[in-house]
Chains A and B, each alone.
Chain A
Amino acid sequence: AQSVTQPDIHITVSEGASLELRCNYSYGATPYLFWYVQSPGQGLQLLLKYFSGDTLVQGIKGFEAEFKRSQSSFNLRKPSVHWSDAAEYFCAVSPAYSGAGSYQLTFGKGTKLSVIP
């Protein structure tokens, strides 16, 4: 069964510092990979996705992520964090193919990001 591990439950960084949030996945084949962000009381907003091709993908709000097949990782990075980036971040995987017509997401437990002004 597929699984997603986000080893860091809570990370605190200073505004302007760089950020890396870790994500490892376990899947039978190469899945599709996603990062979502959730602000308090809000839904999940897609930051970026990886399907194939260039292993470094760019997303919204200045975020990027790198897919490393050998490490089964899809870490999220941002060179300079803003106070508005404080939120919870979820890594997720979905099947690349489904005979049942379902591409449900399997989420990690999330990493809560706090930003110190």
Chain B
Amino acid sequence: EPEVTQTPSHQVTQMGQEVILRCVPISNHLYFYWYRQILGQKVEFLVSFYNNEISEKSEIFDDQFSVERPDGSNFTLKIRSTKLEDSAMYFCASSEGTPNQPQHFGDGTRLSIL
């Protein structure tokens, strides 16, 4: 069964550095999402991406964050200048299209900011 893959599985970065989290969604999927889960808390929506542009973003997704689909297969989340509070598990998800097609999640990238 096709799956969403995320790399790296764990990223350790110094505060203030830029990080790029990478995701390869399922190939025929059209909608892409990033979520994050701070340790011990619930999964929170960050941003959705459709038709090569952001379709919706949460208040968490400020100017430090950006997303890109550079080559038709990868979907990346960039954090420009990381803060301690960015430490979390970041999940990528994709879905085929209409809302009755559920989102498929990757295994996540654990981001640790020192």
A: which residues have CB within 8 A of B? 32, 34, 36, 41-46, 49, 51, 90, 92, 94-98, 100-110
Contacts and interface: CB of A to CB of B under 8 A. Distances in A.
B82 to A, nearest CB: 22
Given A49-B102, A101-B50, A103-B31, A108 B42 contact: yes
A36 B42 CA distance: 12
B7 to A, nearest CB: 13
Interface in B39-53: 41-45, 48, 50-51
Interface string B95-111: 10001101111111000
* Residues of B contacting A: mostly: strand
Contacts of A95: 99
Contacts of B95: 103
B81 to A, nearest CB: 25
Interface of B: 4, 31, 33, 35, 41-45, 48, 50-51, 55-56, 58, 91, 93, 95, 99-100, 102-108
Contacts of B55: 98, 100-102
Contact of B43 (A100, A102, A103, A107): A107
A105 B99 contact: no
B31 A34 contact: no
B48 A104 contact: yes
Question: Which interface residue of B45, B51, B104 has the most chain A CB atoms within 10 A?
Answer: B45
A97 B99 contact: yes
A56 B62 CA distance: 40
